[in-house]
Amino acid sequence: ETGVTQSPTHLIKTRGQQVTLRCSSQSGHNTVSWYQQALGQGPQFIFQYYREEENGRGNFPPRFSGLQFPNYSSELNVNALELDDSALYLCASSAMEYNSPLHFGNGTRLTVT
C-alpha cells in the first residue's frame, strides 16, 4: 500500500511569486485535503477535493486554489505569495466513507522571503 507522498519537501520563494505543491494520495483514496501548519500551531484546514471538485473550504483567500486529477492526485496553488504564507503544507487523503481516517503526507516546507 503506497502512502501519501508530497513534493517538493522544501521550497523557497520570494514575496509576490506563485507556487505549486503536489500530492499523490494513498491508493484506494478518492478524497484529498490540504492543511497549512504555521510554526508552533496546529494544522489549519485549507480545502478538500472529492471527485475533482472542491468539497469544502476553510478561511483562506481565493489566491489559494487547488486541483484534483482523475487519478486522485492533487495540487495546491498559491498566488501572490506573502511572508505569512511561510508554513508546512500538509496533504491528507481518505476514502469518502464513514470512519475513513485521514492519512497525512510528510508535508512541504514553504519559506517566503
Partner 1 sequence: AQRVTQPEKLLSVFKGAPVELKCNYSYSGSPELFWYVQYSRQRLQLLLRHISRESIKGFTADLNKGETSFHLKKPFAQEEDSAMYYCALSTNFGNEKLTFGTGTRLTIIP
The footprint of partner 1 (CB under 8 A) covers 3-4, 31, 33, 35, 40-45, 48, 55-56, 58, 90, 94, 96-107
- Sequence letter at residue 109: R
Distance of closest approach, residue 14 Cβ to partner 1, in angstroms:
29
Burial of 72 (0-12, 13-18, 19+ CB in 10 A): buried
Distance of closest approach, residue 89 Cβ to partner 1, in angstroms:
13
Distance of closest approach, residue 99 Cβ to partner 1, in angstroms:
7
Nearer CB in complex with partner 1: 64/81: 64
For 113, the grid coordinates are 522571503
Pick from 110, 60, 61: which is nearest to 86 by CA?
110
